[in-house]
Amino acid sequence: MKLHNAMWPGLVGKEPGTDHPPISLDRMLELTAKASVDGQKFDGVDLFLFHPHTDPDASESDLRKMADKIAAKNLAVGSLVAPVWPGTVGDSAMGSIEQRAKFIDAVRKACRVARILNEHGVRKYGVIRIDSATGTKAAAKNEKAAIKAIAATFREAGMVAAGHGERLAAEGEVCWAGMHSWKAMVSLLEAVDMPGTVGFQADLAHTYLYMLGVNSPKTALLKTRILKTRILKTRILKTRILKKGKGGKYSQKDFDKAYAKLTDALRPWTIDFHVAQNDGTVHGTGSHDKTGRHCPADDPNGRLDIAACSKRWLEGAAGRGIKHICWDGCMFPNAILEKQETWNTVLRAMISVKNAIA
């Protein structure tokens, strides 16, 4: 299993002219290439196909120069993120005919870039990542109608991808309509009905929020439980709420049962995988409504056993065409992203996953 690092943490949530400006692709590549743990290195990177890292309309010559630069650092390219969101190339997957056409165009541009990178040789595996590019409120009134509309767009996008020999993976992030809960995500994939071409991208941080029912309380897999604990010295009964949320707790047995249900439902669809950590809180910025807060791999508040949780998702990975896994560190402060030790720690976590599934 190849180990990749995502380049988009240098872009997501970054704003020019602030104390957290975008970090260039060159710098992200440098930090990735320099990471080392007991002689082991990252094998490659996953790319976001939009400015300032990558122009989705860049000439073939410019794309090949980028590929040369990545290959010169002994890195491969894996999965690509299509610029499907409003403000990039695309637009809402459940919007007007014009908006949906933009979405399809974003996928088509991503397939063109993928072809050039494949022909160059720097890319030999990976998928193209998408999501619905639509906030959850747009689907709240009529979830079934929303899933039907998004599925139609995904199906058309899937046909475009298949024509280029590519596969699409919809990321399970709760801030997007149609993927705001694990049940909605399963329903959407079933409605698209293109297994092997349109699948699921599991991210440890985001899928953990599926269990908590963020943006969809009725589908929560970790419910609030109330236990009464007798304090022997005072003989007073006190109530303790067991809930995986801020400052809350639950038993490992509860977690394992819930995680098994989650992974059993979505693992058969999973064709791309992000290793990450989550501290049980949510974060919202702009169109990202209540999304997973990625935290450092060694964060003491991290709620996930990274290797154990990854192993559940990656059962049978080879049979689903998964040849690499990628770390996703979205929305880390620049001070953390710029520290070389951050990426050594990340690589160490990635190696633990690789060893767990070996």
**Element spanning 65, H or E:** helix 60-72
Count of H helices and E strands in the chain? 11, 12
Domains of the chain: 2-216+251-357 (3.20.20.150)
Bridge-based pairing state of the strands 236-242 and 225-231: antiparallel
DSSP state of 314: T
pLDDT of residue 137: 86
Q: Phi and psi of 15, rounded to 5°? A: -135, 125
Alpha helix (H) ranges present in 73-172?
Answer: 97-120, 137-140, 143-163
pLDDT along the chain (358 residues), means of 10: 97 89 97 98 98 98 98 98 97 98 98 98 98 91 96 98 98 93 98 97 95 90 50 32 45 93 98 94 60 84 95 98 95 92 98 97
Which residues are bridge partners to 47 per DSSP? 80
Angle at 91 between CA 123 and CA 196, to 5 degrees: 45
152/193 Cα distance (integer angstroms) = 10
Q: How far is CA 358 from each of CA 258, 347, 353, rounded to the nearest angstrom?
A: 25, 16, 9
Is there a contact between 208 and 278 (Cβ–Cβ < 8 Å)? yes
For 334, how many CA atoms within 13 A lie in the half-sphere containing its CB?
Answer: 14
284/263 Cα distance (integer angstroms) = 25
Amino acid in position 240: R
Is there a contact between 163 and 110 (Cβ–Cβ < 8 Å)? no
DSSP state of 167: -
Tokens of 107: 């996928």
264/261 Cα distance (integer angstroms) = 5
209/214 Cα distance (integer angstroms) = 6
20/346 Cα distance (integer angstroms) = 21
Which of 321, 306, 314 is closest to 263 using CA atoms?
314
Residues 6+ apart with CB under 8 A from 264: none
DSSP state of 89: S
What is the pTM (predicted TM-score) of this model? 0.91
Which residues are bridge partners to 135 per DSSP? 176
Which of 308, 310, 283 is closest to 295 using CA atoms?
283
